[in-house]
Structure 1
Amino acid sequence: MTTMKKLTRLGAFAALLATTLALPAQATPSLVIDVASGAVLSQDQPTASWYPASLTKLMTAYVALDAVRAGRITMDTPLMMSPRAARMAPSKMGFRPGSEVTLQNALIMLMVKSANDIAVAIAEGVSGSVEAFADEMNRASQKLGMTQSVWVNPNGLPDTRQVTSARDLALLGRALYVQFPEYANLWNIGAMQFGRQIHPTHNGLLGRYPGADGMKTGFTCPAGFNVVASASHGNQRLIAVVLGAPSAAARTAKAAALLDRGFQTAGSAGSLGSLAAAGPAPAPDMRDSVCRNRGPATAEFMSEVEDVSIPIGSASTGIPLLDSAAAQQRISAKDLARLPRPHYDPVPVYAGRAPGYVGPVARARAPGAPIGEQTDYSAYANAPEPAGGEASPISRAAPDAVSMRQAKRAAKRAAKRIAPVATPAPVDNIIEDDKAASGDEKPEKPKAKSAAKPVVKAAPKAASKAVSKPRGEKAAAKPAPAKTQTAAKPQVKIQ
């Protein structure tokens, strides 16, 4: 009987295995376009609905740069971190509520570190709230012709409502290059330095694939490994979009192969307009295939884990390196993705205001309120979060990470006009991600030294104790203490 049971189980397993092997491998959406003409050079499921993950931050940058162009905000405008921003899940900078960072530095942190807290700070600084910013994201999408995208947050943390497609992301990437050419350097920063810490880019193509010059990667377990990648060869610039790759190495290798074939393609396979689809649709969940073996410690909203040690399979395609020195050299896609991380001179960033800045601070505010209006942070910290589905990122982002005491301290700091910061903030201003998520890290009170504070010696106190008061007598009126002349406190004037 035992033998028969084993044979039955083995037969069932063999049938299941045969069925599984007979199924076609799930193809991931991809697209390659020419930036100058918008021509489609290759495509595979370009209109399939997909979770964008941190590719969302390209749309966040687009809306922010559009606000700069409209004169609503400047690149030097300080953004103030709110408790809501500080509650975001990693990847993050970990700034405390009440901290300030310029929009210029925030955009660099957004592109290199892929900081989710910075994305919320940008949204609140530009539009006043995450919800108002999401409305702007959706209006910008419609204006660009992105028919399959819906945005509900600025960072791409999982929300089943937030979807896009390879076609829409190619449209967005092209718009960033065409409409904002003066900010093209934002998309190809190899590393940034904050204090004594250097944060390298997650884009595995930069420094590895010749001509690679942008743009952004993204990862969550439901989305898989995504990338919008650009590269230039001669006078031609291409954008490749890869969604749902099983690993960072596979993402890099596939994007490189697509770009290489695109540069060798003559003519086009259509236009982005011809690929337009009816509208957004539910996206597949890649969690089981991408994060099944990553262990219970892997949070489903974690982002930007660049692990090129994950195998990408034995099949590989020869990729010619498109530089003049090694035009005929070929390297496998697998080896290209595993090349050592290139060295970059990091771009310095800092927390605080730009030296000499005298304008308003952009922060969370009431709808329609102008930039610079004060916000009651203690009340804001207790405000109900917007309603969302079970995958709402707000409900997954450690709601107790910022206490009321921290919010009140932030409110006091916000009420005082902080002097302009002329030097980068020290590394001590960074909160470790794990500490920020647990709420263990508490803001430190600044230790300010008062100028010429009068010293009260112990001798007079001892003398007063030595004189005993006769019992039954009324105490004599205490003499008024002598006024001690102190040095005038220096006044910080913001000119």
Structure 2
Amino acid sequence: MRSFCRVILLVLTFLLGAGPSFALPQLLLDMRTGEVLFESEAGRPWHPASLTKLMTAYAAFEAIASGRVTLDTPVVMSENALKAPPSKMGFPVGTAVTLEDALYLMLVKSANDVATAIGETIGGSEPDFVRLMNSHAANLGLTATRFANSHGLHDPNQVTSARDIAILAFVIRSRYPQYDEIFETRAIKFGNSTLKSFNVLLEKFRGTTGMKTGYVCSSGLNIVATAERNGRELMAVVFGGVSARERGELAALLLERGFQGRYGGTRKSVTAIANLAMSPPDRRPEMCGADAKAYLTARKAAFPFGLEGQISYLNDDVPRKVVRVTTLGKLVNVELPRPRPAYAFVPKPIELPRPRPVVLR
């Protein structure tokens, strides 16, 4: 009876619009005009989980552009990298892959050990790479963002916002389109194994072009999803889903409504969203603690899309894009790039398109 009453209380709390537990940050961005079509709690601090890997990828792309590394640079698995908890590849210490294959493993499989090894390869050490990540964040104007590691495993000091992640994803897409195919890949083949992305939109939502999912107990299930239809490019950001179903359906719902023109728009750029000066919520009690079962039941009642007999926005049959990766074997004494001196770091300006002016008649 006590458990039943808890479920009823959670459902009523959601329906009445109260309670911070249900205030899931959401954002929909028109990537052609730069206009925010819809946003809710987009400036609220949140734990990024594996969306952190977007910054790890951005730092790698920047290092390639500066000539410090190439896509063929060997990324060698260290003892420190091997310590990372799953999701991981578990390659023995000394095993190397090209940076290109490492990026596929990190962004498609979301391998934490590979993310650590990429950071060590580019930064020289994990702490130095984290400092580089935070330098990039500061220069991109990600005012709510602070990184503590390269993979996104939970650290209370690792924080972002939907606004900041949308800017980071936008910059990656606009500045480095040559890497789009990595984000579009649904699965990678390694040996006899096929390793699938957690982004279900890549198979079930027509026009999806990426980008990344993430999950830890303290954040819930996060996603950045981009899609293109009929010349329009949209980005959806959703934080804090209680299940893969909810996360995917929420992102698909935002994108579908955006393509249908059902949002009037906000007439402002994503950079105009104010980040809030507050601590991120810790979702662990609701996601993995004593309240998890009741919370899941409440969320199913409040957001039933995708459940049996309910409307789903993930109905398309999209061909799966699969890429094969290999290792280079074991390498030793590989010279790693030294961290770039702070004074030599020259930030590039963010080139976000301005929303088109709206003439009121």
TM-score by structure 1 length? 0.60
Question: 2:346: which partner in 1?
Answer: none
Counterparts in 2 of 1:181-220, with a 5 A limit? Answer: 181-220=177-216
Do residues 52 (structure 1) and 24 (structure 2) align?
no
Aligned runs of 1:279-428 on 2, under 5 Å?
Answer: 281-292=278-289, 312-313=300-301, 315-316=303-304, 335-337=312-314, 344-352=320-328, 361=334, 363=336
Distance 1:315 1:160, change over 3 A: closer
CA–CA separation in structure 1 for the residues paired with 2:59 and 2:313 = 34
Q: Do structure 1's residue 244 and structure 2's residue 221 form an aligned pair?
A: no
Q: 1:129 Cα deviation (Å)? A: 0.9
1:29-48 mapped onto 2 (5 Å cutoff) = 29-48=25-44
Conserved? CA contact 1:36–1:237, under 8 Å: yes
Q: Distance in 1 between matches of 2:265 and 2:25?
A: 21
> Larger relative contact order (C-alpha < 8 A, sep ≥ 6)?
2
Deviation (angstroms), 1:316: 5.0
- Counterpart-to-counterpart distance in 2, 1:187 and 1:103: 15
Aligned to 1:128: 124
SS of the counterpart of 2:204? coil
1:21 Cα deviation from its structure 2 partner: 3.5
| Correspondence 1:159 to 2:136 | no
- AA aligned to 2:283 is M
Query: Residue 201 of structure 2: SS of its match in structure 1?
Result: coil
Tell me, in whole angstroms, the C-alpha distance in 2 between the residues paired with 1:333 and 1:229: 22
The answer on whether the counterparts of 1:134 and 1:154 sit within 8 Å (CA) in structure 2 is yes
Is there any run of 5+ residues in structure 1 with no aligned partner, and where? 1-8, 296-309, 319-330, 354-359, 370-495
Cα drift, residue 158 of structure 1? 0.6
Q: 2 CA distance for matches of 1:237 and 1:345?
A: 20
Distance 1:259 1:347 in 2: 26
Q: Residue 272 of structure 2 aligns to which amino acid in structure 1?
A: S
- Aligned positions of 1:428-443 closer than 5 A: none
1:274 aligns with 2:278: no
> Partner of 1:227: helix, strand, or coil?
strand
Change (3 A) 1:158 1:16: closer
Residues 189 and 312 (structure 1), Cα distance of their counterparts in 2 relative to 1, 3 Å cut: farther
Aligned pair in 2 of structure 1 residues 250, 14: CA closer, same or farther (>3 Å)? closer
One-letter code aligned to 2:196: P
Give the direction of change, closer, same or farther, for the CA distance of 1:20–1:206 in structure 2 (3 Å limit): closer
Give the whole-Å Cα distance in 1 for the aligned partners of 2:162 and 2:10. Answer: 30
Q: Report how far residue 283 of structure 1 moved.
A: 1.1
Work out whether residues 47 and 167 of structure 1, in 8 Å CA contact, stay in contact via their aligned partners in 2.
yes
Aligned residue number for residue 344 of structure 2: none
Quick check: 1:192–1:347 contact (8 Å CA) kept in 2? yes
- CA gap 1:16/1:189 in 2 versus in 1, 3 angstroms: closer
Shift in Å, 1:273: 2.1
Distance in 1 separating the partners of 2:101 and 2:52: 18
Offset, 1:178: 0.5
CA distance in 2, matches of 1:317, 1:114: 26
Closer, same or farther in 2 for the Cα pair 1:368/1:257, shift >3 Å?
closer
Structure 1 position 35, deviation (Å): 1.4
Q: Deviations over 1:372-414 (max 9, x none)?
A: xxxxxxxxxxxxxxxxxxxxxxxxxxxxxxxxxxxxxxxxxxx
Q: Structure 1's 332 and 55: CA in aligned 2 closer, same or farther, altered over 3 A?
A: farther
Write the distance in 2 (CA, Å) between the matches of 1:123 and 1:15. 44
Specify the alignment match of 1:478 in structure 2. none
Residue 250 of structure 2 corresponds to which residue in structure 1? Answer: 254
The 2-side partners of 1:109 and 1:100 are apart by 12
1:200–1:16 distance in 2 versus 1, CA, 3 Å? closer
| Amino acid paired to 1:194 | F
- Could you tell me how far apart the structure 2 residues matched to 1:269 and 1:145 are? 20
Larger radius of gyration: 1
Is the counterpart of residue 63 in structure 1 residue 40 in structure 2?
A: no
If the length of structure 2 is used for normalisation, what is the TM-score?
Answer: 0.82
- Once the two structures are TM-superposed, the CA of residue 344 in structure 1 deviates from its matched residue by 2.3
The separation in 1 between residues aligned to 2:324 and 2:54, in whole angstroms, is 21
Contact 1:90–1:115 under 8 Å retained in 2: yes
5+ unaligned residues in a row in structure 2: which ranges? 293-297, 342-361
Relative to 1, partners in 2 of residues 1:172 and 1:14: Cα closer, same or farther, differing over 3 Å? Answer: closer
**Deviation digits for residues 342-396 of structure 1, max 9, x if unmatched?**
662520001117xxxxxx9455x87679xxxxxxxxxxxxxxxxxxxxxxxxxxx
Change (3 A) 1:117 1:336: same
CA contact (8 A) 1:247 1:312 kept: no
Map of 1:441 onto structure 2: none
Decide which moves more: 235-244 or 270-279: 270-279
**RMSD in angstroms over aligned alpha carbons?**
3.4
